[in-house]
Amino acid sequence: MQIKDYFNSIEDPRIERSKQHSLDTIFSLTTTTVICGIKAWEQIAMFGRLRQKELSSIIDFTNGVPSHDTIERVFSLINPDAFHTCFVAWTSALYNAGNKLIAIDGKIARRSFDTAQNKQALYLVNAWASENKLVLGQFKTQGKGHEIAGIKDLLNILDIKGSIISLDALGCQKEIVSLIVEKKADYIIAVKDNQEQLRNDITSSFSIIKAGSVAEQIEKNNGRTDVRKCTVISNLKMIEKKAEWVGVKSIIQIESKRMISDKEQTQVRYYISSLEKPADEFNKLIRSHWGIENSLHWILDMNFDEDKSRKRKGHSSQNFALVNKVAINLLNEDKETKLSMTHKKLKANYDIDYVKRLINFDA
């Protein structure tokens, strides 16, 4: 199936007599232009007019190119839950779990608030398949500090069986751990002071119990040296309420040291996991969690200007955030073109055949 086939079940929110352009036309045009690095409604419509002849083989322009007002109105009206259901069905066809890491973390679109309408900035909890470099889903929350509900909803929506779920300390909740295990997945979750008793038990364990495995990873780059020492303990006799943390088998300590010139920064972090693995594997998996920051959130802000987006009308900010993720997945699924995300988008802008190949990608 091609990508557009996964989205053709979305109900058109417009009244029948106002449907000059199909949802497929609007969705295909918007996705194509976003791949090419275009973000504003007016520019999307202009791109369609300028490249109409070249794009007509993959986009139905029978009734011409939709105006920017039409495009904006449609994305403000589309049910975001229905749109997301289609997105998840598509990404599920692309992703094979197989003991791979799914990082879950939240991100805010800072300029999407509307004071006049008493509308908060859009805050989404995102799921990122680190190895595949795929966005698997997103869930809207009431803002930072309210991610727990979003994490649970996202876990319920996604097929995570066989995967490893990584979360920061906010996700260190007994009900979240239980849900992950119930869905036949594993977890690696950071532990901080929001779980004070657990953290104290873990720190005591590392001061008394002999480590089962230790590994060190060193990276040198542009005059900076990063050293990450991972220590793993599977003897959990000092975890007082171990039974409440379903499936826990290991506790992990990461000692990070960063040296730049003569300055040194150190940090110690703790994790719980349902896995039993050697320290070098835990070190890599925990490091992979931050791919959601570097390969998704940073890309969304730097390449797609999500942090600067002022789309506010109706559901437009949430729906357009999903279009950005469709574009990221399509660009990342192209394994043949050895270019950065920035240069892939530039190539798409100049090479319509490249865009056609991405849009016609079969899952």
> Exposed e or buried b for every residue in 21-33, given b needs 16+ CB within 10 A?
bbbbbbbbbbbbb
Q: Are residues 125 and 20 in the same domain?
A: no
Label residue 97 by pLDDT band (50, 70, 90). Answer: low
Q: Are residues 336 and 271 in the same domain?
A: no
Q: Is the pLDDT of residue 110 over 70?
A: no
CATH number for the domain including 127? 3.90.350.10
303 within a domain of the structure (yes/no): no
The tens digit of pLDDT for each residue in 145-155 reads 678 988 999 99
Q: Are residues 194 and 149 in the same domain?
A: yes
Give the domain range for residue 276: 86-298
Q: Are residues 155 and 245 in the same domain?
A: yes
Q: Are residues 173 and 99 in the same domain?
A: yes
DSSP for 87-122 reads: HHHHHHHH---TT-EEEEEEEEETT--BTTTTBPPE
Share of the chain above pLDDT 70, in %: 94
The tens digit of pLDDT for each residue in 204-256 reads 999 999 999 999 999 887 778 889 999 999 999 999 999 999 999 999 999 99
Q: Are residues 10 and 30 in the same domain?
A: yes
Q: Are residues 17 and 161 in the same domain?
A: no
50 within a domain of the structure (yes/no): yes
Question: What is the value of pTM for the model shown?
Answer: 0.91
Please count the structural domains in the chain.
2
Q: Are residues 219 and 159 in the same domain?
A: yes
